[in-house]
Amino acid sequence: MNKYLLTIATLIALTFSVSKMKGQIPNAGFENWTTHTGFGTYLTPDNWGTLNQLTGLAGQFTATRVTPGNSGTYAIRLQAIPGIPFIGSVPGILSSGQINTQTFGSAGGFPINFRPLMFKGYYKYDLTAGLDTATIAIVMTMWNTVTNSRDTVGLGGTQFRTDQQTWTSFSAFIIPTSASIPDTISILILSGSLTSANPGALFLDDLSYYPNPAGISEVNNEFNHFSVYPNPASTNMNVKYDDFNTNPASLTIYDVTGRELDRILLTQQNSTINTAKYPNGIYFYQLSDKNNQGLLNGKFSIINN
């Protein structure tokens, strides 16, 4: 993860907010919107924070409802607006918490009770106006009853920099920084910045966690019938899976951006993966059963001398 993503992540002030369902992303398909009236009429996506309450005073909106989406009726469109009279340049922001209209920081998040491996969804990115960047930053935390403060237990994110005119899937890995189970996940999505002269338009739909929390409380990190070694690896990595006959499985390897690199069917107890083709760095794996249910996730590193 680069320094820009970490800088964005620090904008998220992590305070707890209440939601009815732990482990689910509220209004993940952006089908539900609320109409606000008063100083300008505008829409906001339910359960998400935007800057429409600020820019609506000037009759302009950084977050709008669009149709069709990747699925369902609606999706969300985020676009920075440069030079709004009396306000200035405003990035397109979508947040799992409340946005501070002075600092553009965010407070709050969605409750969660397991550790997802990735944050996924579908996007389009219209860059016909020129060059721009969109960013997704993710922070997972848990409340520390000893210090009465929040501990960060995971960080993740990704960026979009190229034009994409059709709905395309994306994945953003969430890197664990602790073995603790989070109670809150904070998501901050920015389309453009305070200096975007020719802002691009980011479209989002069908957000989700992977593995999906339905039916599992936590991906099993104490799976006794599976191992990968050596770690760090160099030119090869060995995979040992004792249950290949009784519980067929596959191993999927991802880079730190969540991009899938390899998917290996484990048809024997011992397998060897050629890792010489991978650049030095950190990688993640997901062991899944025949129904694509996550059994185990972990990470390894590559050091090619």
Count the helices and strands in the chain (H runs, E runs): 2, 24
- Domain edges within the chain: 3-210, 226-302
The top-scoring range by mean pLDDT among 89-98, 134-143, 168-177 is 134-143
Bigger pLDDT: 141 or 178?
A: 141
Listed in sequence order, the DSSP H helices in 74-130 are none
Q: Please state the φ and ψ torsions of residue 4, each to the nearest 5 degrees.
A: -65, -40
The half-sphere exposure of 252 on its side-chain side, counting CA atoms within 13 A, is 18
**Cβ burial 169-187 (10 Å sphere, 16+ → b, else e):** ebbbbbbbeeebebbbbbb
Contact yes or no for 196/91 (Cβ under 8 A): yes
In this predicted structure, which of 3-7, 115-119, 196-200 has the lowest mean pLDDT?
Answer: 3-7
Bigger pLDDT: 224 or 98?
A: 98
**The domains spanning 3-210 and 226-302 adopt the same CATH topology:** no
Distance from C-alpha of 165 to C-alpha of 180, rounded to nearest angstrom: 39
User: How many CB atoms sit inside 10 A of residue 46's CB?
Assistant: 12
Q: Residue 217's pLDDT band (boundaries 50, 70, 90)?
A: very low
**CATH class belonging to 3-210:** mainly beta
Tell me what pLDDT residue 58 has: 73
Nearest residue to 51 via CA among 93, 10, 97, 2: 93
Bigger pLDDT: 164 or 3?
A: 164
- pLDDT above 50 (res 18): no
What tokens appear for 250 in the block? 């596959």
Q: Residue 21's pLDDT band (boundaries 50, 70, 90)?
A: very low
Nearest-5° angle of CA 139, CA 142, CA 143? 135
Tell me what pLDDT residue 160 has: 92
- pLDDT above 50 (res 14): no
- pLDDT above 70 (res 95): yes
Q: What rounded mean pLDDT belongs to the chain?
A: 82
Select the CATH number that applies to the domain covering 226-302 from these four: 2.60.40.10, 3.40.50.620, 3.40.50.2300, 3.90.1200.10. Answer: 2.60.40.10
In this predicted structure, which of 52-61, 155-164, 176-185 has the lowest mean pLDDT?
Answer: 52-61
Tell me what pLDDT residue 259 has: 73
Dump pLDDT digits (tens) for 222-276.
Answer: 456 888 899 888 889 999 999 888 888 999 888 776 678 888 999 999 999 888 8
Q: Is 148 helix (H, G, I), strand (E, B) or coil?
A: coil
For the residues 68-81, what does the mean pLDDT come to?
Answer: 94
Distance from C-alpha of 188 to C-alpha of 186, rounded to nearest angstrom: 7
Q: Residue 19's pLDDT band (boundaries 50, 70, 90)?
A: very low
Distance from C-alpha of 118 to C-alpha of 114, rounded to nearest angstrom: 12
Task: State the distance between the two ends of the chain, measured CA to CA, in whole angstroms.
Answer: 22
Q: Please state the φ and ψ torsions of residue 145, each to the nearest 5 degrees.
A: -70, -15
